[in-house]
Structure 1
Amino acid sequence: MSNPTRATPPQSVPDTIAKYPGEKYLTGWAEIWNTNPSPPWDKGTPNPALEDTLTQQRGTIGGAIATDASGKTYRKKALVPGCGRGVDVLLLASFGYDAYGLEYSAAAIEACRREESDHGHGEKYPVRDAEVGRGEVVFVQGDFFEDGWLRELGLGLGGNCFDLVYDYTFFCALDPSMRPAWALRHTQLLAPSPRGNLICLEYPRHKDPSRPGPPFGLSSEAYMEHLSHPGEQISYDAHGRCRMDPLREPSERGLERVAYWQPARTHAVGKDANGEVQDRVSIWRQR
C-alpha cells in the first residue's frame, strides 16, 4: 500500500515574496491572499496607536469634517494603501472620514467586504461622534503606484486628493528597492499642507534590517531620509541600516515631519521581549 500524500505546508511570507522580486511583489501578495484567507500579519483589529492618534492628535491633524474656501463643509478623504482586511479603513470611517482601502489582491478585497458586512456598523467600529456620523467606505483593487484605481473610483479624485493617508504595514512590506517610489507616490496623493497629513506607524523598528522580509526592518531614519528626499536613492550600509546625512538638505518636494512620538499602545508585534513599545508614530505634510 502506498503512503498517503502529505499536504504541502504553506510557504512563509518571505519565501513567497522572494519568488517575485522588485515590482513583481504584487503577484506574491496576491498568491499569499489566494492561499491563506487569514494571513499571518492580520491581527483582526486596528492598531490602537491609530485610534489614539485620531483621538489625541486633533490639534495636529484636525477632525474628519473640514470647511473649504467657500465656507462649505465636507468630509475629509482618507486612504489606507495595502489595507489588508480593511480594519483601519473601517476605523477611519467610524471617526467620520470617507475612507478608501486599496489592495491589489481580489481575495483581499473580498475579505475587506466581509469585514464591513459582518462588523462595519456594529460594536467593533462604533461611531465616535454622533454629530459627525460615519463616513463612506470604499474598497478598490489596484496598484498603489499606478493611477488606474483613482480613475476607477469615478469620484473626481485626482492628484493630491487625500486629506489623510495611513501607512502601517505597507512600507515595510515593499522590497527595499521600491522605497524611493513609495515616498514619491505620497507626494502625488497627499493634499497640500496643512490639510493633508500622512500618518506613519513606524514598524518594525526593532527588527534587524539585514534579516529577510517582509516585513523588512526599518528605522525612523529610513522614514526620514526617504520622505525628505522622495524618489531619490538613499544610502544604506552593508547591514541594511540607513545612512543619514545631517548636512543633506531636504528636496523641494520632500515631505516635512511635523510630529513624532512613542505611542502608549500598539499591537504586540510592535513591542520587544520586555513589553516595551518599539513602534513610533510620525506625521508628515507637504512642504
Structure 2
Amino acid sequence: MATQNQDRLRTHFSSTPDKEHNNRWDDLWRDSTFLPWDRGHANPALIDLLQERGRPLSSPDPNPSLGAPPPNSESAGYASLAGPLRDDKKRRRVLVPGCGKGYDVALFAAHGYDAYGLEVSSHAAEAAKGYLKDADKGPMEGEYKVADEKIGKGVMNVVCGDFFEDGWLADVEGWEGDEGFDIIYDITSTGGVLICLEFPTHKPASSGGPPWSLPPLVHTELLKQPGEDISYDDQGVVIKTDREETDNALVKIAHYTPRRTHDAGVIKGLVRDCVSMWRHKVDCPEEQRWH
C-alpha cells in the first residue's frame, strides 16, 4: 500500500511530461520542505560494503524480491572493489549520480576516494555543497571520519548537470586526461565497477513512481544489452529472458541482500533491498563473475 508521501511524490510528477521532470525535481529542492527520499545519512548497506573492504556481510534471511540472490551469497567478485589508491598512488575516482545532499560523496571521500556527486537540480547541488562543508558533524558522523589516516580523505566535489549529457564532465578535475571513473554508485570506464543499490524491490510495478519499482531482475535484463529495451508483462513486471549478452554488456560480479539498509527497504522485518556489482564483460574473467 502506498504511503502518503509516495502518493504526493507521484502526483507531483504525474501532472507533467517526462521532459519536464528535471525541473520538477528542482522545484522540490528549491522549496526543500518535502524531500521524503532524504534519509539524513548514507545507506548502511554502502557503509558496510566500504568498511568491509569489498566483502560485506550479507543477510541470512531469504529475500522474496524478483531476481534477488539466495541468502549468504558469496562471490570472488567482491575483490573487484579496489581500494582508494592506484599503483601510482593517485586516488581512484568515484561518481555518485543523483547524490542529493552528498552523504555518499562524504562516505567515499572518508575512505580515501576522490568523490564526485552529480545533481540535475542546481538547488540540490547547492544543498550538497553546503552539507559537505561540515559533513563530519552529520547524524552518522562516525562513518564520515577518515577511515585510514595513512591514506587520508579524498576530495569532495559536486557538479550540476544531466547524467545523460556530457557538459558536466568539464567540471571533473583531470577529465581531459580521459581517466574516467573507477567506481560509479547508483556505465563506467575500462576496469571500473558499477555498484547498484536495488530499491525499491518490493514495490508493485503497477504503483508507479517515483520511486519506480526496481526488482533485481531489471538490472540483469538491462545490462545484458545496454541501451536496448527490456520486456514487461501487462502488469508492468519485468520478464526474464535468455537473450545473449552483447560485447558491451556489463556482467554481475557480486549480488547480495545486505544485513542493513535504510528503514524504507525493510518490509515486515525483512531486508528487501539488494546490492549488485558489475564490470564490463571484456574486463571480467569468468572466475570473477557471480553465479
Deviation by residue 1:162-184 (Cα, 9 ceiling, x = unmatched): 100001xxxxxxxxxxxxxxxxx
| Correspondence for 1:66 | 86
CA distance in structure 1 between the aligned counterparts of 2:262 and 2:183, rounded to whole angstroms:
22
Find the counterpart in structure 2 of residue 269 from structure 1.
264
2: distance between equivalents of 1:253 and 1:158?
23
> Which moved further from structure 2: 150-159 or 226-235?
150-159
Aligned residue number for residue 129 of structure 1: 148
CA distance in 1 between partners of 2:100 and 2:254 (Å): 26
C-alpha distance 251-107 of structure 1, shift in aligned 2 (>3 A): same
Of 227, 237, 244, the residue aligned with 1:241 is 237
Corresponding residue for residue 95 of structure 1: 111
The within-5 A match list for 1:48-67 is 48-56=44-52, 57=54, 59-67=79-87
Q: Which AA in structure 2 matches 1:65?
A: L
Determine the structure 2 residue equivalent to 1:177: none
Deviation, structure 1 residue 121: 7.3
Q: Which amino acid aligns with 1:41?
A: W
In structure 2, C-alpha distance between the alignment counterparts of 1:151 and 1:61, rounded to whole Å: 26
Structure 1 residue identity aligned to 2:92 = K
Aligned 1:1-287 pairs, distance under 5 A: 12-37=8-33, 39-56=35-52, 57=54, 59-67=79-87, 72-120=88-136, 123-124=141-142, 125-157=144-176, 161-167=180-186, 186=187, 190-193=188-191, 196-245=192-241, 247-272=242-267, 274-287=268-281
SS at match of 2:109: helix
SS in 1 for 2:207: coil
* 1:210 partner SS: helix
Q: 1:121 to 1:164 in 2, by over 3 A?
A: farther
TM-score (norm 2): 0.81
CA RMSD across the alignment: 1.8
1:73-112 deviation per Cα after TM superposition (whole angstroms, max 9, x unaligned): 2100000000011000000000000000000111111211
Q: Which amino acid aligns with 1:280?
A: C
Check conservation: 1:150, 1:158, Cα contact below 8 A: no
Count of residues paired in the alignment: 248
Partner Cα distance (1:160, 1:238) in 2 = 43
Deviates more, 1:103-112 or 1:55-64: 55-64
- Name the structure 2 match of 1:180: none
Contact 2:28 2:34 in 1 (8 A): no
Percent identity, please.
41
Structure 2 stretches lacking a partner, 5+ long: 1-6, 56-78, 282-291
CA contact (8 A) 1:19 1:28 kept: no
Following the alignment from structure 1 to structure 2, what is the Cα–Cα distance between the partners of residues 240 and 106?
Answer: 32
Q: Which runs of 4+ in 1 moved over 3 A?
A: 120-124, 157-160
1:130-176: CA deviation from partner (whole Å, max 9, x where unpaired): 11110001100000000000013353347670100001xxxxxxxxx
Deviations 1:24-46 (A, max 9, x none): 32111111111225511100100
d(CA) in 2 for partners of 1:53, 1:270: 17
The answer (yes or no) to whether the contact 2:259–2:271 under 8 Å persists in 1 is: yes
Q: Which has the higher contact order (CA 8 A, sep 6+)?
A: 2
Residue 79 of structure 1 aligns to a residue in which SS? strand
